Structure 1
């Protein structure tokens, strides 16, 4: 048995009016296949190029270890020079990923290689972020703290992406006071005996190739797995729906600080309680289906 996943719609290209009408207003994901072929990044950006322009930069690395009470918010698990990291990606599979690496701050010249899409929405132009990963490395299923609209541009290789909208929370083993599901769920190949509620979850899936862009609407859960070594860039637009904007403000100014306070107060007991609650609440829901 597999997850109930439909393919994310694909278009070859798109104009502003069609994007707003068919995807942004109804908040539906889409893959645009030939959208950035006029960008210098389309022909220039690969792992070797990144090594050439940023090889001496120290980059933060993250793996798939479970969250610990001692971890700070977005605190890296290791650091390495970009050149050495790219050599590692090309040499062998590694769980280490680069997460939320601000290219404007670290390598300003890369800004010349792309432009902000003219799709009728405003972008947060100070936050173009890069993400790198090795073969079979992945991000936990999560949604972003600000519930932004995300445009995810992929470069080099292939990347699997699974999405769920917020209506599926009750099936996903969402961890309270956080933005993640249970970290021990393998969304590429879930164990339905251990996680039976996932049988009821309905989501979307795609495989991104070099130069393709995925539009992820506000608050969508996303799981990303690198089929081959590669990297992506995300551009963001602030949540516009009042409900989502309210959730974003709550996450940033209340929930995050409450969670950090409870970690300091209760330590690992707080993490363990949250993980237990994710199971209890989800299984209680499916009993009532």
Structure 2
């Protein structure tokens, strides 16, 4: 048995009006296949080019280890020179990923390789973020703290994305006071005996290839798995729905600080309690024993 996923709709290209009408207003995902072929990045951006322009930069690396109470919010698990990291990606599968790497700050010359697309939403121009991963590395199922509208541009190789909207929360074993689901769920191949509520979750799946862009609506859950080594850039626009904007403000100014305080106060007991509550609350919502 597999997750109940439908393919994200695909278009070759799109106008601002079409995007607003068919995808932004109804908050539906879409893959746009040929939107950035006029960007220099479309022909230039690959792992070798990143090694060339950013090889001497020290980059933060993350893997798939479970959250530990001693870890700060988004603290890296290791660091490495970009040149060494690219060599590692090409040589063998690795769980090390780079995420939320701000290219404006780190390698300003990369700005010349892309344009800010006009989808009819005001993009946050100070936050173009890069994400890298090795073969079969993945991110935990999560949604972003600011519940932004996200445009995810993929480069080199292939990447699989599984998406759920916030209406699916009760089926996903969401961790309270957090933005993730249980980290021991393998969304690529879930164990429905262990996680029976997942059978009721309805989501989307898309495999992104070089140059394709995925639109993820406000606050959508996403799990990303690198089928081959590669990298992506995310551009974001602030949540427009007042409810989502309110949640974003709550997450940034209260939830994150509360969670960090409880980690300091209770240590691993806090993490263990949250993991247990994810099961208790999901079972209750789904009338499971």
> Structure 1 regions of 5+ residues with no counterpart?
none
Question: Larger deviation: 265-274 or 114-123?
Answer: 114-123
Aligned mates of 2:164, 2:16 — CA distance in 1: 25
- What is aligned with 1:28? 28
Aligned mates of 2:49, 2:106 — CA distance in 1: 15
- What is aligned with 2:105? 105
Question: Larger deviation: 132-141 or 279-288?
Answer: 279-288
- What is aligned with 1:202? 202
- What is aligned with 1:212? 212
- What is aligned with 1:8? 8
Aligned mates of 1:153, 1:52 — CA distance in 2: 20
> Structure 2 regions of 5+ residues with no counterpart?
none
- Tell whether 2:124 aligns with 1:124: yes
Aligned mates of 1:102, 1:252 — CA distance in 2: 19
Aligned mates of 1:258, 1:283 — CA distance in 2: 25
TM-score, normalization: structure 2?
0.99
SS for the counterpart of 2:286 is helix
* Deviations 1:204-254, CA, capped at 9 Å, x for gaps: 001000000000000000000000000000000000100000000000000
SS for the counterpart of 2:73 is coil
Compared with structure 1, are the counterparts of its residues 83 and 259 closer, same or farther at alpha carbon in structure 2 (3 Å cutoff)? same
- What is aligned with 1:145? 145
- What is aligned with 1:284? 284
Q: 1:185-264 alignment to 2 at 5 Å? A: 185-264=185-264
- What is aligned with 2:167? 167
Q: 1:83-102 alignment to 2 at 5 Å? A: 83-102=83-102
- The size of the alignment, in residue pairs, is 289
* Deviations 1:177-202, CA, capped at 9 Å, x for gaps: 00000000000000000000000000
Aligned mates of 1:24, 1:247 — CA distance in 2: 19
- What is aligned with 1:78? 78
Q: How far did 1:288 drift?
A: 6.8
SS for the counterpart of 2:84 is helix
Q: How far did 1:120 drift?
A: 1.0
- What is aligned with 2:273? 273
Q: How far did 1:176 drift?
A: 0.0
- What is aligned with 1:60? 60
Aligned mates of 2:45, 2:30 — CA distance in 1: 23
**RMSD, aligned α-carbons:** 0.8
Q: How far did 1:118 drift?
A: 1.1
Aligned mates of 1:121, 1:172 — CA distance in 2: 29
* Deviations 1:94-128, CA, capped at 9 Å, x for gaps: 00000100000000000000001111110000000
TM-score, normalization: structure 1?
0.99
